[in-house]
A and B are shown apart, each in its own frame.
Chain A
Amino acid sequence: MSRAWTLGLLLVFAVLVLAAAPFFGIESVPVSTLWRADDMAKADILWKIRIPRVLMALLAGAGLATSGMAFQAMFRNPLATPFTLGIASGASLGAVLCIHLGWNFVLLGFSGISVFAFAGAGVAILLVYGLTHSRREFSTATMLLAGVAVSFFFSSLILLLQYLSDFTRTFHMLRWVMGGLENVVDFDEVLGVLPFVAGGCLVVLYLTRELNLITTGEELAASRGVEVYRTKMALFFAASLMVGGVVAICGPIGFVGLMAPHICRLLIGPDHRYLMPATVLFGGAFLIVCDTAARTVMAPTELPVGIITALLGGPFFLWLLLVRRAEL
């Protein structure tokens, strides 16, 4: 099957999923609610809860998957994820700190936890950037080490705060770091995340040829005419801000960012000019499916979507390690 066809099918899949998902859930909402608002409660569920949430799943899935793809290419490492550089740990630390302090406020339509989480992500990004850039270069090996170190450092601070908090707050923290979309009510969050994901995706889309060359080695890429330093810088900030924006609202939803690029590479090959749009479509659609499952499989209880993605992602990850290693 040609790559254009595969991309077309993925687009159809994503559109179908996007169109169908709002009508699944605990409360049955008929399609006619879209144009006939005789039942105000159902109209509210559809317009204020389901549709924003599905759109957020689309953005979060697309953003995490794309940043995962970019990091995998940049580090030439199939195991890289959007969270490898500790940005999600920074966001989690921010959120956990806010919960620990018990601060409830709303800033520009965003919850205090989201604001803190985004600030945490920002600190992590600047820290990794600063540590990597300190030696007048921007080496990916240093970046990877700096990211992993920052990640561990923040993780232990998270554990410390959890240890120091009372039971209710600890539970709240634990629940937040599982990731989920149940905080999305109305379009504020969606509109908040949109510029990060759209902007990040555009940058990555613009750099698809450079990504291809960087996977063959930075020296070779430079010799082929790639401005390696600038490219890496642009990719780092684009991908990191995407992760920061998404995680601030949805928490660290795992495995989409690792898995979606790999599935898409199997479907469409390693050429980023095709892989990038495929990853956006698949990542978005995949998270919508997972979130719909999270809302319905144990209804009326909602599962955190991070559990579903990880349940699907764990076995896939092992399979990947065993089967595809030789080719990656």
Chain B
Amino acid sequence: MSPHAAHVIELRNFSFRIGRKEILRDVSFGVRRGEYLTIVGPNGAGKTTLLKCIDRILPGGSGSIDVCGRPLASYRQKELARRISYVPQADGRTFPFTVEQFVLMGRYPYLNPFSSIGREDRQAVRDAMEMTGTAAFADRLLGTLSGGERQQVYIAAALAQGAEVLLLDEPTTFLDYRHQSEVRGLLARANRDSGVTIVAVTHDVNQAALESDRIVALREGSVVFSGPPAEIMKPDVLGRIYGTSFLLIDHPSAGLPVIVPQVPTRSGS
């Protein structure tokens, strides 16, 4: 047994270039099975690229990525899809499929070209839609949904895909408070109750600290922090990651410091 058998994803000295530009540099970290890991970092740090590399949406790169103890390159596409599912920032640009049709497409890795959709597939779709609360608008067209509903539908499709790892690119960035908390609750349930490993990219360090087991921070393509939330919530650590100053206060119930917005400095005052 390898020393990191518990890791579903393991990156070792992974670097990735687009053209001449090195987007990721020597990235090494592992994701444990069942872990809730959040990736943070400034704009352009390579967070989204990292997610896409892990799911081989962007193939190539140097160093290695292992998925469930096997090199990423050894997976066939459908086989990989049964392990990892990627939830992009939903742009909603698609042909007029209904929500249910869209979620059903999550079953693609289990179908071959001429097989029909079976009971197991229907059950997986039903479960995913129940769990995400999307069953209520199963027959609506994807294009008519609000941003929050759309994000829930994308997560439902990813869950229907039956992958053990969910990669999410800023799942709550454009949502209002209620939809944010719904999506967060949904991810927490999937993680806690169904044992889905979650790797999410976000700009919201407070939420990352409150909900994840571990946080990895990227800056200019390199890992500059990896550890439990309590360790990142320090002004000097955050300052090194983001290159700006931070003000923290203790959260009333979480037992963690959180970032509070600073009063903007105005000229003349």
Contacts and interface: CB of A to CB of B under 8 A. Distances in A.
B91 interface: yes
Interface stretch (B9-17, B49-57, B123-131, B186-194): B49-57
A226 B86 CA distance: 13
A225 B86 contact: no
A212 interface: yes
Interface in A287-317: none
Contacts of B88: 217, 219-220, 223
Interface string A205-235: 0111100110111011011111100000000
From A207, A216, A269, residue with most partner B Cβ within 10 Å:
A216
Q: How large is the interface on B (under 10, 10 to 19, 20 to 34, 35 or more residues)?
A: 20 to 34
A81 B80 CA distance: 34
A219 B86 contact: yes
Interface in B38-57: 52, 55-57
B97 interface: yes
B52 A219 contact: yes
Contacts of A213: 105, 108
Nearest to A208: B113
A73 interface: yes
A225 B105 contact: no
Nearest to A78: B95
A327 interface: yes
Contact of A225 (B80, B94, B97): B80
A225 B97 CA distance: 19
A223 B84 contact: yes
From B77, B80, B106, B161, residue with most partner A Cβ within 10 Å:
B77
A227 B57 CA distance: 10
Contacts of B93: 76, 217
A303 B109 CA distance: 50
A328 interface: yes
Chain B at the A interface: mostly helix, strand, loop or mixed?
mixed
Given A223-B55, A225-B78, A73 B113 contact: no
Interface in B89-135: 91, 93-97, 101-102, 105-106, 108-109, 111, 113
A271 interface: yes
Contact of B96 (A225, A227, A327): A327
Contacts of A220: 86, 88
Nearest to A229: B59
A192 interface: no
A328 B96 contact: yes
A327 B94 contact: no
A301 B5 CA distance: 79
Given A219-B86, A222-B56, A206 B81 contact: no
A4 interface: no
B55 A222 contact: yes
Interface string B125-166: 000000000000000010100000000000000000100000
24 contacts: A73-B95, A76-B93, A209-B111, A209-B113, A212-B105, A215-B94, A216-B102, A217-B91, A219-B86, A219-B88, A220-B88, A222-B55, A222-B57, A223-B86, A223-B88, A224-B108, A224-B109, A225-B77, A225-B108, A265-B95, A265-B96, A270-B95, A327-B96, A328-B96
Interface of A: 73, 76, 206-209, 212-213, 215-217, 219-220, 222-227, 265, 269-271, 326-328
